[in-house]
Structure 1
Amino acid sequence: MGDERDAFVAHHSRKRLYLLLLGSLGFVVGQLWMLGVFGDVEVPATGRRMIFAELATSPYFGWPAVAFFVWAATIIVRRIASPNNAVRVDALGISCAQHYNRAFSWDEITSIKFAPRFVLFEVTRDVRRDLSGWHRVLAATNRTLVGSSLAIATGSMDADREALNDAIRRFAPVHLTRIAG
Protein backbone atom coordinates (compact mmCIF):
# COMPACT_ATOMS: atom_id res chain seq x y z
CA MET A 1 0.00 0.00 0.00
CA GLY A 2 2.23 2.87 1.12
CA ASP A 3 5.82 3.41 2.14
CA GLU A 4 7.21 0.19 3.69
CA ARG A 5 9.35 2.00 6.28
CA ASP A 6 6.55 3.90 7.92
CA ALA A 7 3.76 1.35 7.68
CA PHE A 8 2.41 -0.42 10.73
CA VAL A 9 2.14 -4.16 10.03
CA ALA A 10 0.68 -6.79 12.33
CA HIS A 11 0.61 -10.51 11.68
CA HIS A 12 -1.63 -13.21 13.05
CA SER A 13 -0.25 -14.50 16.35
CA ARG A 14 0.25 -18.21 15.74
CA LYS A 15 0.40 -18.94 19.48
CA ARG A 16 -2.95 -17.27 20.14
CA LEU A 17 -4.48 -18.87 17.07
CA TYR A 18 -3.36 -22.35 18.18
CA LEU A 19 -4.96 -21.72 21.57
CA LEU A 20 -8.19 -20.57 19.90
CA LEU A 21 -8.10 -23.64 17.65
CA LEU A 22 -7.63 -25.91 20.66
CA GLY A 23 -10.58 -24.25 22.40
CA SER A 24 -12.78 -24.48 19.32
CA LEU A 25 -12.00 -28.16 18.80
CA GLY A 26 -12.62 -28.73 22.52
CA PHE A 27 -16.10 -27.26 22.14
CA VAL A 28 -16.74 -29.51 19.12
CA VAL A 29 -15.69 -32.65 21.00
CA GLY A 30 -17.61 -31.57 24.12
CA GLN A 31 -20.76 -30.86 22.18
CA LEU A 32 -20.51 -34.14 20.26
CA TRP A 33 -20.17 -35.90 23.62
CA MET A 34 -23.28 -34.09 24.93
CA LEU A 35 -25.16 -35.15 21.79
CA GLY A 36 -24.35 -38.76 22.60
CA VAL A 37 -22.09 -39.41 19.62
CA PHE A 38 -19.55 -41.15 21.90
CA GLY A 39 -22.18 -42.99 23.96
CA ASP A 40 -25.27 -42.24 26.02
CA VAL A 41 -25.34 -39.08 28.10
CA GLU A 42 -27.27 -39.03 31.36
CA VAL A 43 -29.25 -35.83 31.82
CA PRO A 44 -29.73 -34.81 35.49
CA ALA A 45 -33.29 -35.37 36.69
CA THR A 46 -33.55 -32.17 38.75
CA GLY A 47 -31.85 -28.89 39.45
CA ARG A 48 -30.72 -25.87 37.48
CA ARG A 49 -28.24 -27.89 35.46
CA MET A 50 -31.11 -29.94 34.05
CA ILE A 51 -32.29 -27.10 31.80
CA PHE A 52 -28.79 -26.54 30.41
CA ALA A 53 -28.19 -30.28 30.02
CA GLU A 54 -31.46 -30.75 28.15
CA LEU A 55 -30.61 -27.83 25.88
CA ALA A 56 -27.04 -29.03 25.26
CA THR A 57 -28.18 -32.56 24.47
CA SER A 58 -30.92 -31.32 22.15
CA PRO A 59 -30.10 -31.79 18.45
CA TYR A 60 -31.74 -28.42 17.74
CA PHE A 61 -29.05 -26.70 19.78
CA GLY A 62 -26.23 -29.21 19.59
CA TRP A 63 -25.72 -29.65 15.86
CA PRO A 64 -25.74 -25.91 15.08
CA ALA A 65 -23.21 -25.47 17.90
CA VAL A 66 -20.99 -28.17 16.37
CA ALA A 67 -21.33 -26.53 12.95
CA PHE A 68 -20.43 -23.11 14.38
CA PHE A 69 -17.27 -24.31 16.14
CA VAL A 70 -16.16 -26.37 13.11
CA TRP A 71 -16.63 -23.19 11.03
CA ALA A 72 -14.59 -21.22 13.59
CA ALA A 73 -11.84 -23.87 13.55
CA THR A 74 -11.74 -23.68 9.75
CA ILE A 75 -11.25 -19.91 9.85
CA ILE A 76 -8.52 -20.27 12.47
CA VAL A 77 -6.68 -22.89 10.39
CA ARG A 78 -6.88 -20.60 7.35
CA ARG A 79 -5.38 -17.77 9.38
CA ILE A 80 -2.60 -20.01 10.70
CA ALA A 81 -1.73 -21.06 7.14
CA SER A 82 -1.99 -17.53 5.70
CA PRO A 83 1.28 -15.74 5.00
CA ASN A 84 -0.58 -12.41 4.72
CA ASN A 85 -0.45 -9.56 7.19
CA ALA A 86 -3.43 -9.43 9.53
CA VAL A 87 -3.51 -5.62 9.43
CA ARG A 88 -1.52 -2.92 7.71
CA VAL A 89 -1.90 0.80 8.35
CA ASP A 90 -0.11 3.37 6.23
CA ALA A 91 -0.61 6.71 4.49
CA LEU A 92 -3.07 5.19 2.00
CA GLY A 93 -5.40 3.56 4.55
CA ILE A 94 -6.08 0.31 6.37
CA SER A 95 -5.55 -3.10 4.81
CA CYS A 96 -7.37 -5.76 6.76
CA ALA A 97 -6.92 -9.44 5.93
CA GLN A 98 -8.57 -10.67 9.11
CA HIS A 99 -12.06 -10.82 7.67
CA TYR A 100 -12.29 -8.66 4.60
CA ASN A 101 -9.04 -9.31 2.71
CA ARG A 102 -9.31 -5.81 1.34
CA ALA A 103 -7.73 -2.41 1.65
CA PHE A 104 -9.83 0.57 2.76
CA SER A 105 -8.52 3.98 1.77
CA TRP A 106 -8.84 6.86 4.21
CA ASP A 107 -11.41 8.41 1.83
CA GLU A 108 -13.63 5.33 2.23
CA ILE A 109 -13.54 5.42 6.04
CA THR A 110 -16.05 7.73 7.70
CA SER A 111 -15.39 7.10 11.41
CA ILE A 112 -13.01 5.25 13.73
CA LYS A 113 -13.59 4.15 17.33
CA PHE A 114 -11.12 2.45 19.63
CA ALA A 115 -12.57 -0.24 21.89
CA PRO A 116 -10.66 -2.42 24.38
CA ARG A 117 -10.33 -5.40 22.02
CA PHE A 118 -11.27 -3.89 18.67
CA VAL A 119 -10.75 -0.98 16.37
CA LEU A 120 -14.18 -0.22 14.95
CA PHE A 121 -14.56 1.70 11.73
CA GLU A 122 -17.36 2.74 9.48
CA VAL A 123 -17.08 3.00 5.72
CA THR A 124 -19.13 4.73 3.05
CA ARG A 125 -22.39 3.26 1.84
CA ASP A 126 -20.79 2.50 -1.55
CA VAL A 127 -18.07 0.40 0.09
CA ARG A 128 -20.63 -1.49 2.20
CA ARG A 129 -22.68 -2.15 -0.93
CA ASP A 130 -19.58 -3.49 -2.75
CA LEU A 131 -18.78 -6.01 0.00
CA SER A 132 -19.54 -9.65 -0.82
CA GLY A 133 -22.94 -10.94 0.29
CA TRP A 134 -21.72 -12.62 3.48
CA HIS A 135 -19.53 -9.66 4.43
CA ARG A 136 -22.48 -7.31 3.85
CA VAL A 137 -24.54 -9.37 6.33
CA LEU A 138 -21.70 -9.33 8.87
CA ALA A 139 -21.26 -5.57 8.41
CA ALA A 140 -24.97 -4.98 9.06
CA THR A 141 -24.82 -7.22 12.15
CA ASN A 142 -21.74 -5.39 13.44
CA ARG A 143 -23.44 -2.04 12.85
CA THR A 144 -26.43 -3.21 14.91
CA LEU A 145 -24.35 -4.65 17.75
CA VAL A 146 -21.43 -2.21 18.08
CA GLY A 147 -22.31 0.81 15.95
CA SER A 148 -19.72 0.29 13.19
CA SER A 149 -19.79 -1.94 10.14
CA LEU A 150 -16.20 -3.16 10.29
CA ALA A 151 -13.84 -4.14 13.08
CA ILE A 152 -10.25 -5.16 13.53
CA ALA A 153 -9.87 -7.68 16.35
CA THR A 154 -6.65 -7.04 18.22
CA GLY A 155 -6.64 -10.27 20.24
CA SER A 156 -5.26 -12.56 17.54
CA MET A 157 -2.50 -10.23 16.34
CA ASP A 158 1.16 -10.34 17.27
CA ALA A 159 1.28 -6.55 17.72
CA ASP A 160 0.32 -4.41 20.65
CA ARG A 161 -3.15 -2.85 20.51
CA GLU A 162 -1.75 0.56 21.46
CA ALA A 163 0.77 0.39 18.60
CA LEU A 164 -2.12 -0.18 16.18
CA ASN A 165 -4.08 2.70 17.69
CA ASP A 166 -1.02 4.99 17.48
CA ALA A 167 -0.46 4.05 13.83
CA ILE A 168 -4.07 4.87 13.01
CA ARG A 169 -3.78 8.21 14.79
CA ARG A 170 -0.53 8.92 12.92
CA PHE A 171 -1.80 8.07 9.42
CA ALA A 172 -5.53 8.81 9.51
CA PRO A 173 -6.84 12.21 8.43
CA VAL A 174 -7.42 14.64 11.29
CA HIS A 175 -11.22 14.54 10.97
CA LEU A 176 -11.16 10.78 11.74
CA THR A 177 -8.74 10.90 14.66
CA ARG A 178 -10.51 13.86 16.27
CA ILE A 179 -13.65 11.76 16.83
CA ALA A 180 -11.86 8.48 17.67
CA GLY A 181 -12.41 7.61 21.31
Structure 2
Amino acid sequence: MEAVAKNEKKIKIWITILSVAIPLVVAILFGYKIPNVEPLTFLPPIYAGINGLTAILLIIAVLAIKNGKQKLHQNVMTTCIVLSVLFLVMYVAYHMTSESTSFGGEGFIRYVYFFILFSHITLSIAIIPLVLITYSKTYLGDFEAHKRWSKYTFPIWLYVAVTGVVVYLMISPYYS
Protein backbone atom coordinates (compact mmCIF):
# COMPACT_ATOMS: atom_id res chain seq x y z
CA MET A 1 0.00 0.00 0.00
CA GLU A 2 2.85 2.37 0.83
CA ALA A 3 4.53 1.67 -2.53
CA VAL A 4 1.30 2.50 -4.37
CA ALA A 5 0.98 5.79 -2.46
CA LYS A 6 4.61 6.62 -3.26
CA ASN A 7 4.06 5.84 -6.97
CA GLU A 8 0.89 7.91 -6.99
CA LYS A 9 2.71 10.86 -5.46
CA LYS A 10 5.46 10.67 -8.11
CA ILE A 11 2.86 10.41 -10.85
CA LYS A 12 0.97 13.46 -9.52
CA ILE A 13 4.19 15.47 -9.58
CA TRP A 14 4.85 14.45 -13.21
CA ILE A 15 1.26 15.20 -14.19
CA THR A 16 1.57 18.67 -12.68
CA ILE A 17 4.91 19.32 -14.40
CA LEU A 18 3.65 18.15 -17.80
CA SER A 19 0.32 19.96 -17.45
CA VAL A 20 2.15 23.24 -16.95
CA ALA A 21 5.18 22.63 -19.18
CA ILE A 22 3.37 21.47 -22.33
CA PRO A 23 1.14 24.55 -22.77
CA LEU A 24 4.01 26.83 -21.75
CA VAL A 25 6.46 25.29 -24.22
CA VAL A 26 3.82 25.32 -26.97
CA ALA A 27 3.11 29.02 -26.29
CA ILE A 28 6.82 29.86 -26.39
CA LEU A 29 7.46 27.85 -29.56
CA PHE A 30 4.30 29.23 -31.17
CA GLY A 31 5.86 32.68 -31.08
CA TYR A 32 9.21 31.56 -32.51
CA LYS A 33 9.75 31.37 -36.26
CA ILE A 34 12.55 29.23 -37.67
CA PRO A 35 14.40 31.43 -40.16
CA ASN A 36 15.14 30.32 -43.73
CA VAL A 37 12.94 27.22 -43.56
CA GLU A 38 10.32 26.24 -46.11
CA PRO A 39 6.86 26.68 -44.53
CA LEU A 40 5.25 23.35 -43.66
CA THR A 41 1.95 24.34 -45.26
CA PHE A 42 1.03 20.72 -45.98
CA LEU A 43 0.58 19.98 -42.25
CA PRO A 44 -2.83 21.53 -41.34
CA PRO A 45 -4.96 18.98 -43.24
CA ILE A 46 -2.81 16.19 -41.79
CA TYR A 47 -3.17 17.30 -38.20
CA ALA A 48 -6.86 18.01 -38.74
CA GLY A 49 -7.14 14.43 -39.99
CA ILE A 50 -5.33 13.25 -36.87
CA ASN A 51 -7.94 15.08 -34.78
CA GLY A 52 -10.72 13.39 -36.74
CA LEU A 53 -9.12 9.98 -36.35
CA THR A 54 -8.66 10.60 -32.63
CA ALA A 55 -12.37 11.42 -32.30
CA ILE A 56 -13.34 8.19 -34.06
CA LEU A 57 -10.91 6.14 -31.97
CA LEU A 58 -12.20 7.67 -28.73
CA ILE A 59 -15.69 6.46 -29.62
CA ILE A 60 -14.34 3.02 -30.57
CA ALA A 61 -12.51 2.86 -27.22
CA VAL A 62 -15.70 3.60 -25.28
CA LEU A 63 -17.63 0.99 -27.26
CA ALA A 64 -14.82 -1.52 -26.68
CA ILE A 65 -14.83 -1.11 -22.90
CA LYS A 66 -18.64 -1.21 -22.77
CA ASN A 67 -18.42 -4.56 -24.57
CA GLY A 68 -15.80 -5.90 -22.18
CA LYS A 69 -12.90 -5.66 -24.61
CA GLN A 70 -10.32 -4.24 -22.19
CA LYS A 71 -7.21 -4.93 -24.27
CA LEU A 72 -8.74 -3.30 -27.35
CA HIS A 73 -9.79 -0.33 -25.19
CA GLN A 74 -6.27 -0.02 -23.80
CA ASN A 75 -4.64 -0.23 -27.23
CA VAL A 76 -7.01 2.29 -28.78
CA MET A 77 -6.56 4.74 -25.91
CA THR A 78 -2.78 4.44 -26.13
CA THR A 79 -3.11 5.15 -29.86
CA CYS A 80 -5.19 8.25 -29.06
CA ILE A 81 -2.46 9.54 -26.76
CA VAL A 82 0.22 8.90 -29.40
CA LEU A 83 -1.92 10.66 -32.03
CA SER A 84 -2.42 13.63 -29.72
CA VAL A 85 1.34 13.96 -29.22
CA LEU A 86 1.87 13.65 -32.98
CA PHE A 87 -0.76 16.33 -33.56
CA LEU A 88 0.96 18.65 -31.11
CA VAL A 89 4.38 18.19 -32.75
CA MET A 90 2.93 18.90 -36.21
CA TYR A 91 0.91 21.87 -34.96
CA VAL A 92 3.96 23.47 -33.38
CA ALA A 93 6.14 22.68 -36.43
CA TYR A 94 3.59 24.34 -38.72
CA HIS A 95 3.39 27.47 -36.59
CA MET A 96 7.18 27.68 -36.25
CA THR A 97 7.57 27.71 -40.04
CA SER A 98 4.44 29.54 -41.22
CA GLU A 99 2.65 32.77 -40.51
CA SER A 100 -0.65 32.47 -38.68
CA THR A 101 -3.74 32.53 -40.86
CA SER A 102 -6.45 35.04 -40.04
CA PHE A 103 -10.07 33.97 -40.21
CA GLY A 104 -11.74 35.90 -43.03
CA GLY A 105 -15.38 35.22 -42.26
CA GLU A 106 -17.66 38.09 -41.34
CA GLY A 107 -20.75 38.64 -39.26
CA PHE A 108 -22.27 35.92 -37.12
CA ILE A 109 -20.00 33.16 -38.45
CA ARG A 110 -16.97 35.10 -37.15
CA TYR A 111 -18.38 34.93 -33.61
CA VAL A 112 -19.11 31.23 -34.03
CA TYR A 113 -15.56 30.59 -35.25
CA PHE A 114 -13.92 32.45 -32.38
CA PHE A 115 -16.19 30.79 -29.81
CA ILE A 116 -15.25 27.36 -31.15
CA LEU A 117 -11.56 28.31 -31.39
CA PHE A 118 -11.45 29.74 -27.86
CA SER A 119 -13.25 26.77 -26.31
CA HIS A 120 -11.06 24.37 -28.31
CA ILE A 121 -7.82 26.00 -27.13
CA THR A 122 -8.97 26.32 -23.52
CA LEU A 123 -10.15 22.73 -23.31
CA SER A 124 -7.07 21.44 -25.14
CA ILE A 125 -5.04 22.81 -22.24
CA ALA A 126 -7.44 21.38 -19.66
CA ILE A 127 -7.44 17.95 -21.29
CA ILE A 128 -3.73 17.40 -20.66
CA PRO A 129 -4.01 16.74 -16.91
CA LEU A 130 -7.35 14.97 -17.36
CA VAL A 131 -5.87 12.44 -19.81
CA LEU A 132 -2.77 11.98 -17.67
CA ILE A 133 -4.78 11.47 -14.48
CA THR A 134 -7.23 9.09 -16.15
CA TYR A 135 -4.41 7.10 -17.73
CA SER A 136 -2.44 7.01 -14.47
CA LYS A 137 -5.39 5.50 -12.61
CA THR A 138 -5.19 2.49 -14.92
CA TYR A 139 -1.42 2.30 -14.48
CA LEU A 140 -1.94 2.27 -10.71
CA GLY A 141 -4.63 -0.40 -11.03
CA ASP A 142 -7.38 1.85 -9.66
CA PHE A 143 -10.00 1.04 -12.28
CA GLU A 144 -12.88 2.56 -10.31
CA ALA A 145 -11.09 5.91 -10.20
CA HIS A 146 -10.22 5.49 -13.89
CA LYS A 147 -13.90 5.00 -14.67
CA ARG A 148 -14.89 8.06 -12.61
CA TRP A 149 -12.29 10.29 -14.27
CA SER A 150 -13.20 8.96 -17.73
CA LYS A 151 -16.71 10.35 -17.41
CA TYR A 152 -15.18 13.85 -17.52
CA THR A 153 -12.14 13.20 -19.69
CA PHE A 154 -13.93 11.46 -22.57
CA PRO A 155 -16.45 14.17 -23.54
CA ILE A 156 -13.89 16.95 -23.20
CA TRP A 157 -11.28 15.08 -25.26
CA LEU A 158 -13.90 14.22 -27.87
CA TYR A 159 -14.96 17.89 -28.03
CA VAL A 160 -11.34 18.99 -28.49
CA ALA A 161 -10.78 16.43 -31.25
CA VAL A 162 -14.00 17.30 -33.12
CA THR A 163 -13.60 21.07 -32.78
CA GLY A 164 -10.03 20.74 -34.06
CA VAL A 165 -11.50 19.47 -37.31
CA VAL A 166 -14.21 22.15 -37.32
CA VAL A 167 -11.67 24.94 -36.77
CA TYR A 168 -9.56 23.60 -39.63
CA LEU A 169 -12.57 23.38 -41.97
CA MET A 170 -13.63 26.92 -41.07
CA ILE A 171 -10.20 28.50 -41.56
CA SER A 172 -8.92 26.39 -44.47
CA PRO A 173 -10.39 28.66 -47.17
CA TYR A 174 -8.17 31.48 -45.82
CA TYR A 175 -4.83 29.65 -46.02
CA SER A 176 -2.60 31.39 -48.55
- The TM-score range, normalised by the shorter chain, is under 0.3
Instruction: Tell me which structure has the larger Cα radius of gyration.
Output: 1
In terms of fraction of residues, the more helix-rich structure is 2
TM-score, structure 1 normalization: 0.27
In terms of fraction of residues, the more strand-rich structure is 1
- With CA pairs under 8 Å and 6+ residues apart, which has the higher RCO, 1 or 2? 2
TM-score, structure 2 normalization: 0.28
